Amino acid sequence: MVTRVGMIGHSEGNGHPFSFSAIINGYSEAGLREAGWPVIHAYVSRRHPADFGVGDLSVTHAWTQDPDVTRALCRAANIAHGVAHPDDMLGEVDALIIARDDAESHWSLARPFLEAGIPVFIDKPLTLDRGVLEYFVPYLEQGRLMSCSAMRYAMELDELRKGLANYGELKLIRGTILNDWPKYGIHLLEAILSLAPSRPVSVNALPARHESLLIMLEDGTQVIIDALGKAPGVFDLELLGSEHISRHSIRDNFTMFRRALWAFATMTRDARPPIKPVSTLDVIETLIAGQDAIRLHREVVIHAA
């Protein structure tokens, strides 16, 4: 049985509608090359044909704000139907992916589908508004909504996930990423908080020429995330413990995206949360608290320790 998926995009600088659709459907060499996403074309074209396809998902419908972009997306990823309005997908798709990272658009795009009982994946960040987050909570708990950065599933962290106990007392976790805190800090929050042995309790902005955040965990572990702004591509993680230190550069976009989409496919089938809702809430609440810390220049409490 095919699960018909609607794909919604796009937002400036974010090619996820193209990469996600190509991973699920396969791609047109000419269409993807001409779509204007050379980095995506490069890493997709290096993959073997066996690497494409995610469970029984098939992207059958697409919408973007620009009809020309919609046509380019459909051509690049073999999508049969470009539609004039998102609601045109209601009754035509079994699941929805909102593959755009402008958080302010997510509630209005997702609501008609969630309330129609259609499972939805929302690209990071889910929201930067606490009231909207409260609206989303029941859908997270019911296994009808998934949202994350795919860096949670990064292949480069597989051994780390198995061997965290080897670090002894975990003293410091550092992450470095390009661009800004709201859209890119979340990548490292997903990676780090999915590994960390305890929950975040507070966030403070550190003095720096870029956005630098200190996150305290319940067990006393410190997490520092530096969002460098304009910089060469960097997605790096460093763990420092009393018994072991390691450094990890995360580069394989294709695999992390495919794993995240596989988790979404299991949710559409089983109606169970692929990520514990409390984990998603911790990530988003930390992201919002970080924004507040940057604005207020003081520590912001997330949870009482």
Mean pLDDT of 78-87: 97
Each residue's pLDDT tens digit, 127-164 = 999 999 999 999 999 999 999 999 999 999 999 988 88
Q: Is residue 63 part of a domain?
A: yes
Instruction: Tokens 């269409």: give the residue.
Output: 31
Q: Total domain count for the chain?
A: 2
Q: Is residue 279 part of a domain?
A: no
Same domain, 184 and 73: no
Q: What is the pLDDT of residue 228?
A: 96
Q: What is the pLDDT of residue 303?
A: 74
Q: What is the pLDDT of residue 163?
A: 85
> pLDDT confidence of 305, banded at 50, 70, 90?
low
CATH number of the domain enclosing 176: 3.30.360.10
Q: Is residue 46 part of a domain?
A: yes
Pairing of strands 120-123, 222-227: unpaired
Q: Is residue 280 part of a domain?
A: no
Mean pLDDT of 199-216: 96
Is residue 123's pLDDT more than 80? yes
Each residue's pLDDT tens digit, 11-59 = 888 999 999 999 999 999 999 999 999 999 999 999 999 999 999 999 9
Give pTM, 2 decimals. Answer: 0.95
CATH number of the domain enclosing 121: 3.40.50.720
> Token pair for residue 156?
């480069």
Same domain, 144 and 292: no
Same domain, 49 and 167: no
> pLDDT confidence of 197, banded at 50, 70, 90?
confident
Phi/psi-derived region of residue 256, left when phi > 0, alpha when psi is between -120 and 50, beta in every other case:
alpha
Structural domain that includes position 206: 156-251+285-301
> pLDDT confidence of 304, banded at 50, 70, 90?
low
Same domain, 37 and 54: yes
Three-state secondary structure along 157-216?
Answer: HHHHHHCHHHHCCEEEEEEEECECHHHHHHHHHHHHHCCCCCCEEEEEECCCCCEEEEEE
Longest dimension (CA), the chain: 57
Same domain, 228 and 171: yes
Q: What is the pLDDT of residue 11?
A: 87
Mean pLDDT of 224-248: 94
